[in-house]
Copies of this chain bind each other. A is one copy, B any other.
Amino acid sequence: MNEEILSKLLTSFQSGDLSLEEVMGKLKILPYEDLNYVKIDHHRAIRQGFPEVVFCQGKTIEQVREIMKHLSRHNRNILATRAIPAMYEAVKSIIPDAHYNELAKLIYVQREDIDIDQERFILVMTAGTSDIPVAEEAAITAEIMGNKVERVYDVGVAGIHRLFSQQHIIEKANVLIVAAGMEGALASVVGGLVAKPIIAVPTSVGYGANFNGLSALLCMLNSCAAGISVVNIDNGFGAGRLASMINHMR
């Protein structure tokens, strides 16, 4: 963030030229850092509770490294999604405390501990083993954003007793994320069991008439269970981000 602007703003505030409300208002609308090919939204941490997250897919390795470098200067915790190992290598060389989760394709830096409410956890579920990478993207995202996360994997509806044996943990969850490909029916079944918000993540797992996730997407959108909403196919990050938002409400 442009520090001149910030200091001016705050000086004006101190001198009484600007009220607290006015300063907050300006902070919420104004600044970002312009790298030409990207405009980094540094104060998103203020406006949205977490800094801008880098979506690496479609960016060059260099772009990812540069954006991370700038984010790293102004933020203590940062996150990049859909990162390939080579991107992590590039980031690691300039941000030594960066971590990488290969399964979830996440690069993250966590310099500041966030207080985690151990009573309220987000439950991340998958229908099958192949849905786990998407689920982990969601789970780790939520953890980095300061949430306790529990995992229940491979409980698809074709062997529904596996699901019911987990009913105790399902019922205690505060928010649920359900990642499923193929017919995506798990979200509906879970939706009938609990009265908590469920974020359904269709995955592209499957073949043939799954049409790269379309079947699960349509299934989840048409769920007749209450409390279900849907994010984009394979969008584990979006699910984790939203779950964190809901889990922090009080």
Contact = CB atoms under 8 A, between A and B. Distances in A.
Interface in A196-222: 196-197, 199, 202, 204-222
A233 to B, nearest CB: 3
Contacts of A197: 242, 245-246, 249
Contact of A221 (B44, B199, B208, B249): B208
A121 interface: no
Nearest to A126: B37
Nearest to A156: B224
Interface stretch (A6-14, A69-77, A83-91, A178-186): A178-186
A125 to B, nearest CB: 12
B225 A38 contact: no
A232 interface: yes
A59 interface: yes
Interface residues of A, number: 93
Interface in A217-242: 217-235, 238-239, 241-242
A55 to B, nearest CB: 7
A144 interface: no
Given A157-B188, A229-B230, A218 B221 contact: no
B195 A29 contact: no
A28 to B, nearest CB: 8
Contact of A195 (B188, B205, B245): B245
A192 B44 CA distance: 9
Nearest to A60: B129
13 contacts: A58-B129, A156-B224, A160-B193, A184-B219, A185-B219, A195-B245, A196-B245, A209-B222, A209-B232, A210-B218, A221-B230, A221-B231, A250-B250
5 nearest A-B residue pairs (beta carbon):
A208-B233, A58-B130, A185-B185, A229-B229, A215-B218
